[in-house]
């Protein structure tokens, strides 16, 4: 198949979260499965300096019959996959990606609608006729609409199917209804089942309506999207998709995340020989100025600092947990209010807690390897990748039972009846007491039942969530989308 893959971020070029990991690993796997896949993303400011070669000096992008935008297209290659970078300095040459550090850019809808349209125009300019266009999240969701309604006259896209992957339904690309014309949305498509959302435009909702098929990034999240309490206000739109909305669990790129070969680690290890893990832990403790002692349990968290990740529970629970017997390492970037709260904990417990404010990929690998427990008390989690990395790195995940976290972590039952397959701990309630209790339980297991800890660690490291398996499911979904687009299903 010819696949055009649209994403606002791609690991290795620009990453703010797991979407970038997926936009790198899934195309890589599809390429290996024999498909011709091309990725399109913005040429952000940080990428301009890299001087990637220009493949199209001028691409004309008509968003409406009267609004033509002009851009340049650069290209690079990742894992044998061509990645096209849409260069438009007014839209993408800014300091931030989605926001200025405090607020989302006021023209985000226009910026990313432009990206979506540019990708389609680019495929025509390159004579790359896509069998399938895959959009990811609200940023590129409108691509399915453009395919169906802006190019309905065009034989080039006559048999092109569309898939929308929902990585995070809480971000929806809402903007004023006044932007309807600028975004090229026809008046008849501003109805409640399409783009209209209480008078505003909702790009995710509209894209969902027009896409042939859609998927959530885990089966659990697919179900949650359809429930009123967890559907981010769009449960009716998700439910209306019926079987056209499926759940496909993300994979893990074990080439990238393998403690036996990871170039970011000073020492290596695997499930058969964990000496290297101890050494990485001692090295990290030293690097961060913590007591170097492999016997102290190290609890870690690496995260975007945002409400989704449960800091409103984690902060008070940490005050409960921290004592002389545990160490805590936190790495995060994002909302300042959470950063200040984490910084305050680190200030109060200088012997036991470190908070690193920032985004640091190499450090994130070292923390995964050095830690004994990985905390992920998410309010909701569409899939979550960090707990999957933690499993492979032998750092037992402590998760809230939600979305993809349920699908990937086998939580130890209170009576330990499933200890022969348990890979982590979980709690259900949306309150800090349950989390605090679970953190204490982890500490208790570490000190009082090390055999159980080691057994769970072995079970965790043996887990495998491969992209091969996810890729097969995506291929099925693509085929179904193409049949639908061709009017055959």
Applying CB under 6 A, the residues found at the interface with ligand ADP are 17-19, 21, 302-304, 331-333, 359-361, 364, 383-386
In the chain, what is the straight-line distance between the N-terminal and C-terminal CA atoms, in Å? 18
- Does residue 385 interact with ligand GLC by CB under 6 A? yes
Residue 217 interface partner, choices ligand ADP, ligand GLC, none, CB cut-off 5-8 Å depending on type: ligand GLC
Secondary structure (DSSP) of 348-381: H-TTTEEEEES--HHHHHHHHHH-SEEEE--S--
Taking the complex as a whole, the smallest distance from the CB of residue 147 to ligand ADP amounts, in Å, to 26
Taking the complex as a whole, the smallest distance from the CB of residue 473 to ligand GLC amounts, in Å, to 14
What is the size of the binding site for ligand GLC (CB under 6 A)? Answer: 14
- Does residue 217 interact with ligand GLC by CB under 6 A? yes
CA 124 vs. chain centroid, Å, equals 29
Residue 303 interface partner, choices ligand ADP, ligand GLC, none, CB cut-off 5-8 Å depending on type: ligand ADP
| Cα–Cα distance, 135 to 121 (Å, whole number) | 15
Residues with Cβ within 8 Å of 467's Cβ and at least 6 positions away in sequence, in order, are 25, 26, 28, 29, 251, 252, 253
Q: Which of 382, 394, 397, 424 binds ligand GLC (CB under 6 A)?
A: 382
- Does residue 383 interact with ligand GLC by CB under 6 A? yes
To the nearest 10 degrees (0 to 180), the angle between helices 108-125 and 203-210 is: 40
Residue 124 interface partner, choices ligand ADP, ligand GLC, none, CB cut-off 5-8 Å depending on type: none
Taking the complex as a whole, the smallest distance from the CB of residue 405 to ligand GLC amounts, in Å, to 9
Taking the complex as a whole, the smallest distance from the CB of residue 308 to ligand GLC amounts, in Å, to 6
Taking the complex as a whole, the smallest distance from the CB of residue 387 to ligand GLC amounts, in Å, to 9
| Cα–Cα distance, 170 to 233 (Å, whole number) | 9
Q: What angle do CA 49, 93, 47 make, to 5 degrees?
A: 30
Residue 302 interface partner, choices ligand ADP, ligand GLC, none, CB cut-off 5-8 Å depending on type: ligand ADP
Rule CB under 6 A: which of 19-58 touch ligand GLC? 19, 22
- Does residue 251 interact with ligand GLC by CB under 6 A? no
Taking the complex as a whole, the smallest distance from the CB of residue 116 to ligand GLC amounts, in Å, to 18
- Does residue 18 interact with ligand GLC by CB under 6 A? yes
CA–CA distance from 306 to each of 122, 359, 375, 377, 433 (Å)?
A: 35, 14, 15, 12, 20
- Does residue 250 interact with ligand GLC by CB under 6 A? yes
| Cα–Cα distance, 372 to 170 (Å, whole number) | 31
The answer to whether 366 touches 284, Cβ cutoff 8 Å, is yes
Q: Put the strands of the sheet holding 174-175 in their side by side order.
A: 174-175, 200-202, 196-197
Question: CB-wise, 75 or 475, nearer to ligand GLC?
Answer: 475
State which residue has the least CB distance to ligand ADP.
Answer: 18
CA 25 vs. chain centroid, Å, equals 12
Work out whether the CA dihedral 21, 23, 28, 34 comes out positive or negative.
positive
Rule CB under 6 A: which of 399-438 touch ligand GLC? 404
What sections of 65-170 are H helices per DSSP?
A: 89-92, 108-125, 137-141, 143-145
Which two three-digit tokens encode residue 161?
């199917």
- Does residue 249 interact with ligand GLC by CB under 6 A? no
Residue 364 interface partner, choices ligand ADP, ligand GLC, none, CB cut-off 5-8 Å depending on type: ligand ADP
User: Which residues contact ligand GLC (rule: CB under 6 A)?
Assistant: 17-19, 22, 167-168, 217, 250, 381-385, 404
């Amino acid at each position: 198949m010819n696949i055009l893959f649209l994403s606002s971020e791609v690991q290795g070029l620009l990453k703010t979260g797991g979407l970038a990991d997926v936009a790198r690993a899934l195309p890589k796997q599809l390429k290996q499965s024999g498909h011709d896949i091309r990725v399109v993303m913005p040429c952000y400011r940080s990428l301009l300096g890299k001087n990637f070669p220009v493949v199209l000096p001028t691409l004309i992008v008509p968003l409406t019959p009267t609004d033509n935008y002009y851009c340049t297209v650069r290209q690079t290659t990742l894992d044998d996959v061509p990645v096209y970078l849409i260069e438009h300095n007014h839209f993408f040459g800014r300091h931030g990606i989605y926001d200025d550090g405090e607020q989302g850019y006021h023209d985000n809808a226009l910026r990313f609608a432009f990206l979506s349209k540019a990708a389609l125009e680019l495929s025509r300019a390159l004579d790359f006729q896509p069998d399938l266009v895959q959009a990811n999240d609200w940023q590129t969701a409108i691509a399915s609409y453009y395919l169906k309604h802006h190019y309905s006259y065009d034989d080039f896209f006559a048999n092109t199917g569309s898939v929308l992957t929902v990585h995070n339904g809480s971000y929806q690309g809402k903007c004023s209804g006044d932007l309807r014309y600028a975004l090229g949305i026809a008046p008849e498509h501003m109805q409640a089942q399409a783009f209209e959302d209480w008078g505003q435009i909702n790009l995710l909702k509209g894209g969902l309506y027009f896409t042939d098929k859609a998927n959530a990034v885990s089966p659990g999240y697919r179900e949650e999207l359809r429930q009123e309490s967890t559907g981010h206000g769009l449960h009716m739109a998700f439910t209306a998709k019926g079987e056209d909305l499926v759940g496909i669990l993300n994979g893990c790129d074990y080439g990238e995340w393998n403690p036996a070969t990871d170039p970011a680690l000073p020492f290596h290890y695997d499930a058969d020989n964990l000496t290297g893990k101890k050494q990485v832990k001692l090295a990290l403790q030293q690097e961060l100025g913590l007591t170097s002692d492999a016997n102290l349990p190290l609890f870690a968290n690496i995260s975007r600092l945002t409400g989704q990740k449960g800091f409103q529970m984690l902060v008070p629970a940490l005050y409960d947990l921290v004592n002389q017997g545990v160490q805590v390492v936190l790495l995060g970037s994002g909302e300042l209010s959470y950063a200040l709260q984490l910084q305050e904990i680190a200030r109060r417990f200088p012997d036991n807690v470190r908070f690193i404010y920032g985004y640091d990929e190499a450090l994130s690998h070292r923390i995964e390897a050095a830690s004994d427990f990985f905390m992920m008390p998410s309010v909701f989690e569409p899939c979550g990748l960090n707990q999957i990395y933690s499993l492979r790195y032998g750092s037992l995940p402590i998760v809230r039972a939600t979305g993809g976290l349920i699908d990937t972590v086998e939580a130890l039952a209170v009576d330990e009846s499933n200890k022969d397959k348990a890979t982590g701990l979980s709690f259900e309630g949306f309150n800090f007491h349950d989390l605090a209790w679970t953190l204490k339980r982890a500490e208790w297991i570490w000190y009082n039942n090390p055999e159980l800890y080691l057994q769970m660690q072995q079970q965790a490291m043996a887990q495998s969530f491969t992209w091969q398996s996810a890729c097969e499911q995506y291929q099925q979904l693509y085929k179904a989308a193409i049949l639908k687009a061709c009017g055959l299903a």
